[in-house]
Structure 1
């Protein structure tokens, strides 16, 4: 096996090898989380094509034309920055799993691995001879995670699915957007990421169980199932016969808890209890609002949310966002904050102070930015050391680590199992 030379020896998943058969985001984010904790993640990609997420763009970034090392971009346009964000610290091999020798190479890899993750449509892994039963014959202790849109049972199990579809079936879109507008997709691939996090959680749990019992396991996750526990407040209303509605930035059980327009942008205000509400009224020089019967308690404010919005919007429009943040958050310690665009979210004093955005060396691009994961341990290390891999960058090194010599590599190339030189 190969690994990053500077990988820390005291990361929680150090020594764990993950074979990643997934494409796009769900499995990719799960294995990204594992890589952040020290696992060696090996992406098995289609020759010449790679992970579909390599082609997600524009934008694309052109590689250094003088780079002549292993691997390549999977698109003439260059590298997709979207691909970077899901594939730091991974290795890439190209195996044609529709050839006998490509499948043999995968089995050799799985024999030395701890985890396999796949997100084929149900039944596809079995048709490719890479299902759980197939790989368990190779490695009986394997932890095998299957991810699909709707799971492997039920009337929707054979349906294809993407984040957009599951945002619809999970009810998320029905409660997102303006209250008098159409259903709105959350502006990031939320159900992909939710599912990826559940998958990583399940994999780590299964690895812990294996430490206790010596037994591997199979984890089966549907994106639709994975999204439903996140409904929380909205599900609570539905459980008692109420219909959750779109509310814009408002909250169904708290007020004020929303975004308000300011002189130059928007301000989020989240008063989670009565004390904070009263302190807010004093800080904005509107003590009369705290004494108003319409806003006397949180249930009153929720019942009169529109009137409360009118009152507070008129106040907050009087000053720019930064002035309100200085006054209310910094001076009075109240839960208010700005609504940033994405570039500002990635580049501000708090993000910088926490070292969330860093750079790592990339063989064909010089350096690329990295969004670090938020787990900070006192007694262990975490974080990314390596750039996302070029397509097939590690194919030869991984195979040589498994014992393949020059003749074996030539055979694989001749049989179409791996790309030619």
Structure 2
């Protein structure tokens, strides 16, 4: 059964993480994705490591499956001409050059429309095409700092901290994917293509969700709370007698179950029945709960809390998470055939379609792996391809 985006063609000019993650998701859903890289080093992440697995960077491998790979020198007239041919029958172009780069190459959105009137151009940058910061490079770490995310991440009395993955890149890739699907639906209705201008900064601001809303509604600047929640109590890390785990009491009903389970008169008192009261006396409440939870092991509490329907969970390391029975049952670790790597495992797709399931048909391409194949399809002869290689066009 073909994927839900079968017959959609994506020309991928992006590199590093936000764009490649977006196009990988589209490829997972069945779109044909042609990844275009520079002829020298290609996607920068090819060199980001260790770890390397039989010569391939683990970083590159995480975001580039279900794609074909071609190299082009876009600074040459013939390289640009090949790009135009690829775009001529494509549905979407994804690029994350600095704003204005495509226009300087002579192939901005207006020029693309002359080649393909219905083309959708998704342009990803650090700060977007407008505004005083539009010319600045966008790195996830910097975006986490400038967006306010780091100011609310970390211990209250410690340094601001970044999230352990490039979360602004990941979120921007997801927002870009959503934008592309919306633009396709618009084109289905009207026949019109369009350009999508999306930035890491905007995406991360949007991802502040309730924390941003708290400020906009109250005027109070949010602070770091460590592992606590700004709006809900108890919702944090607690210690059993053999280590730490998460207790996430999301509503008053769950709190009543917890108070009954812990068998403490203080916890059952009226002052704590409502979340608003628990927030007002957060410190006192935490002390009572902490003392109670230290009387049993994490495993014992896991059984009791699950039986009571109270959200909780262990703090797994990455190995424990990926090796968990749940991850295995959900096929979240998949084995991929690769021409040079004997045992390649990647994180699976979280998208579970009942009628058009995700398929991983292509390994993350080697540098320039499909250049000849793609150029043959475009009508170039073997002699022309050899000449272009000699001229450093491909």
TM-score by length of 2: 0.96
Q: Is 1:404–2:385 an aligned residue pair?
A: no
Aligned counterpart in structure 1 of residue 194 of structure 2, from 214, 217, 227: 217
Distance (whole Å) between structure 1 residues aligned to residue 333 and residue 51 of structure 2: 20
Provide structure 1 residue ranges, at least 5 long, that are not aligned to the other structure.
1-7, 63-77
Distance (whole Å) between structure 2 residues aligned to residue 137 and residue 349 of structure 1: 52
1:49 aligned partner: 41
Aligned counterpart in structure 2 of residue 388 of structure 1, from 364, 384, 387: 364
Distance (whole Å) between structure 2 residues aligned to residue 264 and residue 120 of structure 1: 50
Contact 2:256/2:273, CA 8 A, preserved across alignment: no
Distance (whole Å) between structure 1 residues aligned to residue 244 and residue 158 of structure 2: 20
1:251 aligned partner: 229
User: RMSD of the alignment, in Å?
Assistant: 1.5
Q: Is 1:195–2:168 an aligned residue pair?
A: no
Aligned counterpart in structure 1 of residue 23 of structure 2, from 19, 24, 31: 31
Moved over 4 A (4+): none
1:59-80 deviation per Cα after TM superposition (whole angstroms, max 9, x unaligned): 1112xxxxxxxxxxxxxxx211
Contact 1:368/1:387, CA 8 A, preserved across alignment: no
Contact 1:99/1:415, CA 8 A, preserved across alignment: no
Q: Is 1:309–2:301 an aligned residue pair?
A: no
1:274 aligned partner: 252
Q: Is 1:333–2:309 an aligned residue pair?
A: yes
Count of residues in Structure 1 that have an aligned counterpart in Structure 2 = 393
Distance (whole Å) between structure 2 residues aligned to residue 86 and residue 31 of structure 1: 8
2:154 aligned partner: 177
Q: Is 1:374–2:366 an aligned residue pair?
A: no
2:73 aligned partner: 96
Aligned counterpart in structure 1 of residue 241 of structure 2, from 235, 259, 263: 263
SS of equivalent residue, structure 1 residue 160:
coil
1:2-35 deviation per Cα after TM superposition (whole angstroms, max 9, x unaligned): xxxxxx42x1110011111111111111111111
SS of equivalent residue, structure 2 residue 316:
coil
Contact 1:114/1:142, CA 8 A, preserved across alignment: yes
Contact 2:143/2:200, CA 8 A, preserved across alignment: yes
TM-score by length of 1: 0.90
In structure 2, the CA distance between the partners of 1:205 and 1:317, relative to structure 1 (3 Å rule), is: same
Provide structure 2 residue ranges, at least 5 long, that are not aligned to the other structure.
none
Deviates more, 1:301-310 or 1:195-204: 301-310
SS of equivalent residue, structure 1 residue 113:
coil
Distance (whole Å) between structure 2 residues aligned to residue 393 and residue 337 of structure 1: 43
2:32 aligned partner: 40
Contact 1:101/1:415, CA 8 A, preserved across alignment: no
Contact 1:372/1:383, CA 8 A, preserved across alignment: no
SS of equivalent residue, structure 1 residue 195:
helix
2:102 aligned partner: 125
1:82 aligned partner: 59
Residue 255 of structure 1, CA deviation: 0.5
Q: Is 1:140–2:122 an aligned residue pair?
A: no
Distance (whole Å) between structure 1 residues aligned to residue 37 and residue 362 of structure 2: 18
